[in-house]
């Protein structure tokens, strides 16, 4: 861009040099040139294949091809990537057939690999691997790839390498990691420190409090109002508590804006059948919203009551859609539900009485599971193929989004009529969260505790 501006100003004294090549998805001509380059390299020059190097991945309509072109449009190289297995895409992708034409500018191969990694992550992959020729292992290692094990391709030794996708860990760290250093010294209820809510000593009351991100309040005030009720009643539901009342604290620039927020809050209060008994409203200030919810439970269910060996279950409402403007981040399964359906979901944990329960929060499915495991003093393994997931969502999005209503339980399932329940993993000795894949491979997505608060007991 800078060199274009300087040219328009008739200034040739400086500026960034124009790139020697660009990376883009292959069109028909690019695909033809890429396959010709592959044949020349892998069949004619290297002799890895007898007559051709085409396989089932080339005919899979989900396979993507990225090519590097110079300024004249000549294809300098390419790489393909796509789901590793036939059937449903479970977020396990592979890359392969990386090729660069002789005499190409320096860095084409590295740029193609980086582009493939970025594209796989954007397509929702949580596992991305490639079989690499031995002479290329060093390049992949320098790019951040991890050595998995030696493998054989076309009777030639290769190295299976894995790109470390940190999407789950980054989300968990951003949303929960600071808690361990911030909360010590604050009073809590024994066995429920760091839980979704807190039992009030000497009573059957359970309290929960959540604030909505100010940018959401500003951008989508009605939805923020709805969510302020949703997240709080879900917190109570995770503890087996029946919600009975709400209090709100609202900051708004003027009465008109406040009315939009309160409209969403009022609709959610009515839909869930939980009254707003009072609160505080202030005008002439930046947008802010926090709600406190009160519920009743004679014996609250802890988030940290699990033990190694217990089965894990997910109960999730798969109906709905991505909230407009929040695709891949916020799944709206609640705003179209009727009150009996919503109340039935809220009562699922109370009816089931599992050993431990957590509602899936902004840390996402895997991050929330890490919180349950951490509070229980153990680790967790999640079976990727057994997790209930809405049609059309990627594993990466579903494992890291806020899903509306989704409840993780240990030791017993907590079914609800308008939701799907499935056993999808187990608590294990150790710490952190690992994913188990269709081929039996296990990868770590959360290393150690999520919050740093430790075991709740």
* Residue 157 pLDDT: 94
Instruction: At 413, give phi and psi (nearest 5°).
Output: -75, 160
**364-381 tens-digit pLDDT:** 999 999 999 999 999 999
Contacts of 141 (CB under 8 A, 6+ apart): 147, 161
Give the β-pairing of 276-283 and 242-252: parallel
With a pLDDT cut of 90, the percent of the chain lying above it is 86
| Crossing angle (nearest 10°) for helices 255-272 and 339-346 | 70
* Residue 174 pLDDT: 85
Kindly state the average pLDDT of the residues 2-9. Answer: 39
* Residue 53 pLDDT: 92
Kindly state the average pLDDT of the residues 428-451. Answer: 95
**417-427 tens-digit pLDDT:** 999 999 999 99
Q: Which of 291, 362, 288 is nearest to 326 (CA)?
A: 362
- pLDDT at residue 12 is higher than 60: no
Q: Is the C-alpha dihedral spanning 186, 189, 194, 199 positive or negative?
A: negative
Q: Which of 316, 303, 317 is nearest to 407 (CA)?
A: 316
Kindly state the average pLDDT of the residues 212-226. Answer: 97
- pLDDT at residue 183 is higher than 80: no
Q: Which of 263, 288, 415, 434 is nearest to 349 (CA)?
A: 415
Kindly state the average pLDDT of the residues 345-353. Answer: 98
Kindly state the average pLDDT of the residues 433-443. Answer: 97
Asked whether the beta carbons of 305 and 373 are under 8 A apart, the reply is no
Kindly state the average pLDDT of the residues 33-44. Answer: 96
* Residue 175 pLDDT: 81
pLDDT band at 1 (very low <50, low <70, confident <90, very high): very low
State the Rg of the chain over Cα.
Answer: 26
Q: Which residue has the tokens 């003027």?
A: 254
| Measured distance CA(356)–CA(456) in Å, rounded | 11
| Measured distance CA(421)–CA(445) in Å, rounded | 23
- pLDDT at residue 19 is higher than 80: no
Kindly state the average pLDDT of the residues 406-419. Answer: 98
Structure tokens at 233: 């009643």
Kindly state the average pLDDT of the residues 242-246. Answer: 98
pLDDT band at 232 (very low <50, low <70, confident <90, very high): very high
- Considering the chain, what is the average pLDDT of its residues? 93
Q: Which of 131, 123, 130, 148 is nearest to 64 (CA)?
A: 123
| Measured distance CA(28)–CA(65) in Å, rounded | 11
* Residue 15 pLDDT: 52
**109-143 tens-digit pLDDT:** 999 999 999 999 999 999 999 999 999 999 999 99
Q: Which of 279, 266, 171 is nearest to 221 (CA)?
A: 266
pLDDT band at 85 (very low <50, low <70, confident <90, very high): very high
* Residue 18 pLDDT: 64
Asked whether the beta carbons of 218 and 253 are under 8 A apart, the reply is no
Instruction: At 219, give phi and psi (nearest 5°).
Output: -80, -40
Q: Which of 360, 379, 348, 345 is nearest to 455 (CA)?
A: 379
| Measured distance CA(82)–CA(50) in Å, rounded | 25
pLDDT band at 184 (very low <50, low <70, confident <90, very high): confident
**150-169 tens-digit pLDDT:** 999 888 899 999 999 999 99
Q: Which of 91, 84, 98 is nearest to 23 (CA)?
A: 98
pLDDT band at 2 (very low <50, low <70, confident <90, very high): very low
| Measured distance CA(119)–CA(440) in Å, rounded | 25
**253-310 tens-digit pLDDT:** 999 999 999 999 999 999 999 999 999 999 999 999 999 999 999 999 999 999 999 9
| Measured distance CA(157)–CA(161) in Å, rounded | 13
For the chain, what is the HEC assignment? CHHHHHHHCCCCCCCCCCCCEEEEECCHHHHHHHHHHHHHHHHHHCCCCCCCCCCHHHHCCCCEEEEEEECCCCEEEEEEEEECCCCCCCCEEEEEEEEECCCCCCCHHHHHHHHHHHHHHHCCCCEEEEEEEHHHHHHHHHCCCEEEEEEEECCEEEEEEEECCCHHHHHHHHHHCCHHHHCCCCCCCCCCCCCCCEECCCCCEEEEEEEECHHHHHHCHHHHHHHHHHHHHHHHHHCCCEEEEEEEEEEECCHHHHHHHHHHHHHHHHHHCCCEEEEEEEECCCCEEEEEEEEECCCCCCCCCCCCCCEEEEEECCCCEECCCCCCCEEECCCCCCHHHHHHHHCHHHHHCCCEEEECCCCHHHHHHHHHHHHCCCEEEEEHHHCCCCCCCCHHHHHHCECCCEEEEECCCCCCCCCEEEEEEEEECCCCEEEECCCCCEEEEECCCCCCCCCCC
- pLDDT at residue 3 is higher than 60: no
- pLDDT at residue 17 is higher than 90: no
């Amino acid at each position: 861009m800078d060199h274009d501006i300087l040219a328009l100003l008739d200034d040739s004294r400086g500026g960034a040099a124009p790139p020697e090549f660009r990376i883009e998805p292959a069109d028909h001509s690019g695909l033809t040139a890429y396959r010709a380059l592959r044949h020349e390299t892998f069949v004619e020059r290297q002799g890895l294949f007898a007559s051709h190097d085409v396989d089932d991945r080339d005919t899979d309509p989900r396979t993507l091809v990225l090519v590097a072109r110079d300024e004249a449009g000549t294809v300098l190289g390419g790489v393909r990537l796509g789901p590793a297995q036939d059937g449903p895409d479970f977020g396990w992708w592979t890359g392969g057939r990386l090729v660069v034409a002789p005499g190409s500018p320096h860095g084409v191969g590295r740029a193609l690999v980086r582009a493939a990694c970025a594209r796989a992550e954007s397509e929702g992959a949580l596992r991305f691997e490639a079989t690499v020729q031995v002479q290329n292992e060093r390049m992949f290692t320098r790019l951040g790839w991890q050595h998995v094990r030696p493998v054989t391709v076309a009777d030639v030794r290769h190295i299976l390498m894995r790109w470390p996708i940190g999407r789950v860990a980054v989300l968990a760290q951003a949303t929960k990691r600071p808690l361990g250093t911030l909360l010590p010294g604050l009073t809590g209820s024994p066995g429920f420190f760091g839980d979704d809510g807190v039992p009030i000593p000497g009573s059957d009351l359970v309290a929960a409090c959540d604030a909505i991100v100010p940018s959401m309040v500003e951008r989508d005030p009605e939805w923020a109002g709805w969510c302020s009720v949703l997240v709080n009643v879900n917190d109570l539901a995770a503890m087996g508590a029946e919600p009975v009342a709400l209090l709100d604290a609202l900051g708004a620039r003027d009465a008109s804006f406040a009315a939009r927020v309160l409209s969403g809050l009022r609709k959610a209060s009515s839909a869930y059948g939980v009254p707003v008994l009072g609160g505080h409203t202030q005008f002439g200030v930046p947008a802010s919203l926090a709600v406190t919810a009160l519920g009743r439970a004679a014996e609250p269910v802890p988030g940290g009551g699990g033990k190694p060996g217990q089965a894990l279950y997910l109960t999730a409402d798969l109906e709905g859609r991505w909230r407009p403007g929040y695709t891949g981040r916020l799944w709206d399964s609640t705003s179209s539900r009727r009150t009996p359906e919503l109340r039935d979901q809220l009562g699922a944990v109370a009816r089931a009485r599992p050993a431990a329960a957590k509602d899936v929060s902004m840390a996402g499915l895997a991050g929330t599971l890490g919180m349950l495991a951490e509070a229980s003093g153990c680790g967790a393994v999640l079976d990727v193929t057994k997790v209930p997931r809405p049609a059309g969502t990627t594993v990466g999005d579903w494992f890291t989004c806020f899903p509306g209503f989704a409840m993780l339980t240990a030791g017993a399932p907590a079914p609800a009529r308008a939701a799907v329940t499935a056993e999808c993993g187990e608590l294990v000795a150790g710490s952190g969260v690992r994913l188990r894949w269709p081929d039996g491979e296990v990868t770590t997505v959360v290393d150690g505790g999520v919050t740093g608060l430790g075991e709740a007991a």
